[in-house]
């Protein structure tokens, strides 16, 4: 019940295209859903996050869509750029709880 399933494992998108990464969870107690971005040789860094009281959150070219009934959430990267090439992790946690459960990661490559 603590799993977060992420797909696809890897993704190649042309510059200017839309990148979409999907995650699904089982534990309905999760109430915080962040996405982390990791560049090669670096640690993950928080990109954007959403709570289940809203269905969408947008920050610049990055949007999280959240479907509470389906227990799914996704990251959309609009107008994808080569600088967006990185590994993206979805995650889920319970407010006030110590642990964060991570997805398995998606390696995104944006080609010119």
Partner 1 sequence: NAGVTQTPKFRILKIGQSMTLQCAQDMNHNYMYWYRQDPGMGLKLIYYSVGAGITDKGEVPNGYNVSRSTTEYFPLRLELAAPSQTSVYFCASKFGAGDEKLFFGSGTQLSVL
Q: Which residues bind partner 1 (CB under 8 A)?
A: 6, 9, 32, 34, 36, 41-46, 49, 89, 93, 95-100, 102-105
Residue with smaller CB distance to partner 1, 42 or 68: 42
The distance of closest approach from Cβ of residue 112 to partner 1 in the complex, given in angstroms and rounded to an integer, is: 26
Pick 6 or 63: Cβ nearer partner 1: 6
Nearest to 64 by CA among 85, 43, 48, 80: 48
DSSP state of 80: -
Q: Which is nearer to partner 1, 66 or 89 (CB)?
A: 89
Q: How far is the CB of 16 from partner 1 (least distance, A)?
A: 28
Distances (CA, A) of 112 to 44, 85, 106: 24, 11, 19
Q: Of the candidates 71, 83, 87, 69, which has an alpha carbon nearest to the alpha carbon of residue 33? A: 71
């Amino acid at each position: 019940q603590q799993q977060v399933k992420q797909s696809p494992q890897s993704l190649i998108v042309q510059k200017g295209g839309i990148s979409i990464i999907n995650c699904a969870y089982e534990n309905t107690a999760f109430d915080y859903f962040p996405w982390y971005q990791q560049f090669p040789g670096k640690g993950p860094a928080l990109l954007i996050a959403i709570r289940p009281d809203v269905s969408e959150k947008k920050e610049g070219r990055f949007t999280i869509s959240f479907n509470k009934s389906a227990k799914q959430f996704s990251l959309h990267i609009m107008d994808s750029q080569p600088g967006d090439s990185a590994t993206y992790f979805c995650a889920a946690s319970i407010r006030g709880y110590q642990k964060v459960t991570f997805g398995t990661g998606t390696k995104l490559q944006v080609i010119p």
